[in-house]
Chains A and B, each alone.
Chain A
């Protein structure tokens, strides 16, 4: 892992939050290389005991927030609430759920009730 170019950017958070290291590393690489997000930055989310990410999807301008977690973790509403807080109160936050076989699934969580676009 330490040979990987992303390690240099994530290493302060990997040492600070070792239990979230695996899912953070996987989510970061997926966003950067597979999803090809631009302007990807790493945000410290101390109340969630991990780092999160903010960036833009290709060909869009909106800044999106992602917090990684593993399938084997249990989340709570206060954890999700803390993520919204520490990202600075965006309308939506994406949760990146990572699995041991390197699958990753993103769930979008919005503040309050949101009507679908159509």
Chain B
């Protein structure tokens, strides 16, 4: 998943080597080095205690913890000892950082080595509603039309992996790209920032302004519902959460999200019946109007604690 905080482009501070410690990767590297040192110290202490106990056992005694004087550190009690060397600054940082220490900030901003990875839904939203993206066909090197892109994104889910374009009538309303796009488009046009929710066992997370500003408020689970049950029998895709789920699963997901102060929302997407809607409609985004969305918000009610 792409980084939340851009590393190069938005960080003129990077050219100043003083600030390398502030970069999130460096913070993580520091923390990991410390933790590794803690684990080494702990392993050494455990080995010492085991040795002392073995020696005492050979003499026919059993040692108590106080007698050995060895303290096995825990994560809560360990302190970094004297001069635990800090990890070296990141080797893949801008090569100019050390040399640039005395130079003014606006010189030589490092080339932006990061690239943005978009999901098909994000890409299509940018293309269609904001018109700020171009998609180039790698075989012809020409920009693709909106229609071609719309069909191509659906075909990405059709087996066999298309090295040959399938005909539009083989497209289906239960294509995972479509279902996810309906949800993405719906919430994004309402002003929410949508990110992937795999960290919390859900499909999407909704943020009011963005992950950097505040933690997500809502965790979405997308539940596709077939208008016509017969369509489900012919479905060639891996569609999740179509079948009724168990209470165990629901409680688990709700618990995971309550722990992190998010509200669970079940987003039901109704898939129109093939009998009612012609497959040819899928050739353009106009088919989105045939889908509908309903939300069910879930909160755990504890009568003993929630009297007001």
Interface string of A40-55 (1 = CB under 8 A from B): 0000000000000000
A21 lies within 8 A of B238 (CB): no
B160 lies within 8 A of A14 (CB): yes
In angstroms, Cα B241 to Cα A72, docked, is 11
Interface string of A3-39 (1 = CB under 8 A from B): 1000100000011001101100100000000000000
Chain A proximity of B303: nearest CB distance (Å) = 35
In the complex, whether B286 has a CB less than 8 A from a CB of chain A is no
Chain B proximity of A118: nearest CB distance (Å) = 4
Chain B proximity of A19: nearest CB distance (Å) = 5
B120 lies within 8 A of A100 (CB): yes
In the complex, whether B1 has a CB less than 8 A from a CB of chain A is yes
A3 lies within 8 A of B139 (CB): yes
Given contacts A70-B238, A118-B39, contact A101 B117 (CB under 8 A): yes
A73 lies within 8 A of B120 (CB): no
- B120-145 interface (Cβ within 8 A of A): 120, 122, 138-139
In the complex, whether A74 has a CB less than 8 A from a CB of chain B is yes
> Which residues of B are found within 8 Å of A1, using beta-carbon distances?
161, 163
In the complex, whether A103 has a CB less than 8 A from a CB of chain B is yes
Q: A11: nearest residue on chain B (CB-CB)?
A: B163
A–B pairs, 10, beta carbons within 8 Å: A1-B161, A3-B138, A19-B238, A21-B160, A73-B238, A74-B240, A99-B119, A99-B196, A101-B122, A118-B36
> Which residues of B are found within 8 Å of A74, using beta-carbon distances?
238, 240
Chain B proximity of A114: nearest CB distance (Å) = 16
A118 lies within 8 A of B117 (CB): no
Q: A116: nearest residue on chain B (CB-CB)?
A: B39
Count of inter-chain pairs, beta carbons less than 8 A:
50
Chain A proximity of B222: nearest CB distance (Å) = 11
Interface of B is mostly: loop
- A53-109 interface (Cβ within 8 A of B): 70-74, 99-103
> Which residues of A are found within 8 Å of B43, using beta-carbon distances?
118
Question: What are the nearest 10 A-B pairs in CB distance?
Answer: A18-B160, A21-B161, A118-B39, A18-B159, A2-B163, A101-B119, A101-B117, A72-B238, A19-B159, A100-B119
Q: A22: nearest residue on chain B (CB-CB)?
A: B161
In the complex, whether B176 has a CB less than 8 A from a CB of chain A is yes
* Size category of the binding interface on chain B: 20 to 34
In angstroms, Cα B2 to Cα A7, docked, is 27
In angstroms, Cα B162 to Cα A2, docked, is 9
> Which residues of A are found within 8 Å of B156, using beta-carbon distances?
22, 100
In the complex, whether B40 has a CB less than 8 A from a CB of chain A is yes
> Which residues of B are found within 8 Å of A100, using beta-carbon distances?
119-120, 156
Q: A24: nearest residue on chain B (CB-CB)?
A: B161
In the complex, whether B118 has a CB less than 8 A from a CB of chain A is yes
Chain A proximity of B299: nearest CB distance (Å) = 27
Known: A70-B238, A72-B238, A100-B120. 12 other contacts (CB 8 A): A1-B161, A3-B139, A7-B163, A22-B156, A25-B161, A73-B238, A99-B119, A100-B156, A101-B117, A102-B117, A103-B1, A103-B2
B198 lies within 8 A of A71 (CB): yes
- B192-239 interface (Cβ within 8 A of A): 196, 198, 238
Partner of B40, one of A19, A99, A101, A118: A118
Interface string of B237-270 (1 = CB under 8 A from A): 0101000000000000000000000000000000
> Which residues of B are found within 8 Å of A99, using beta-carbon distances?
1, 119, 196
In angstroms, Cα B230 to Cα A31, docked, is 41
Q: B120: nearest residue on chain A (CB-CB)?
A: A100
A72 lies within 8 A of B176 (CB): yes
